[in-house]
C-alpha cells in the first residue's frame, strides 16, 4: 500500500498516514484525535471524498484517544461517504476508543472490523 504522512500537531500528538488499497483510501491515525488535532484527519478524509473516493478505511490500531470532536470528524466523513454510495470502515480499535463508540452508539453506524486486513477484504 502506498502511504503519505499528512502531518503532526501539538508536539506530535497525532500523526496520520494516508494510503490506498484497491478502491479504498486508508487512513492510519496514530496518537490522540481531539479538538486540537482533528483537522489532521478531517482534511485528508475530505480530500479523498472530494476526489471521488467513497470507501474509506480508518486503521485505528494506533489511535490511543478519541474525543467528541474526533468522533464528529468520523461521523461527518461517514455521512459524506454514505451520500456518495460508500462507507467508512473502522478497523482494529483499541478498547478505550471502542468504548467511546459504544457509549455514544456510534459503533452502530459504522462498519467495524477486528483487523485492518478484514476491512480491506470487503
Q: Per residue in 71-81, pLDDT tens?
A: 999 999 999 99
Element (H, E) at 42: helix 39-50
DSSP 122: -
Question: Cα–Cα distance between 9 and 2 in angstroms, integer?
Answer: 23
Element (H, E) at 68: helix 68-83
Question: Cα–Cα distance between 2 and 22 in angstroms, integer?
Answer: 11
Question: Cα–Cα distance between 92 and 34 in angstroms, integer?
Answer: 19
Mean pLDDT score of the chain, rounded to an integer? Answer: 92
**pLDDT, tens only, 27-67:** 999 999 999 999 999 999 999 999 999 999 999 999 999 99
Question: Cα–Cα distance between 114 and 8 in angstroms, integer?
Answer: 26
The pTM assigned to this predicted structure is 0.89
Percent of the chain with pLDDT over 70: 90
Cell 488499497 sits at which residue?
21
11: pLDDT strictly greater than 60 = no
pLDDT of res. 8: 47
Report the pLDDT averaged over residues 82-86.
97
Report the pLDDT averaged over residues 73-94.
98
Question: Cα–Cα distance between 40 and 7 in angstroms, integer?
Answer: 7
Amino acid at each position: 500500500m502506498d502511504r503519505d504522512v499528512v502531518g503532526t500537531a501539538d508536539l506530535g500528538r497525532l500523526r496520520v498516514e494516508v494510503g490506498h488499497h484497491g478502491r479504498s483510501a486508508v487512513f492510519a491515525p496514530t496518537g490522540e484525535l481531539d479538538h486540537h488535532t482533528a483537522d489532521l484527519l478531517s482534511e485528508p478524509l475530505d480530500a479523498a471524498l472530494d476526489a471521488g473516493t467513497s470507501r474509506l478505511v480508518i486503521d485505528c490500531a494506533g489511535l490511543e484517544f478519541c474525543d467528541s470532536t474526533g468522533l464528529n470528524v468520523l461521523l461527518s466523513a461517514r455521512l459524506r461517504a454514505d451520500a456518495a454510495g460508500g462507507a467508512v470502515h473502522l478497523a482494529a480499535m483499541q478498547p478505550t476508543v471502542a468504548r467511546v463508540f459504544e457509549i455514544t452508539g456510534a459503533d452502530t453506524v459504522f462498519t467495524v472490523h477486528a483487523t485492518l486486513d478484514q476491512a480491506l477484504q470487503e
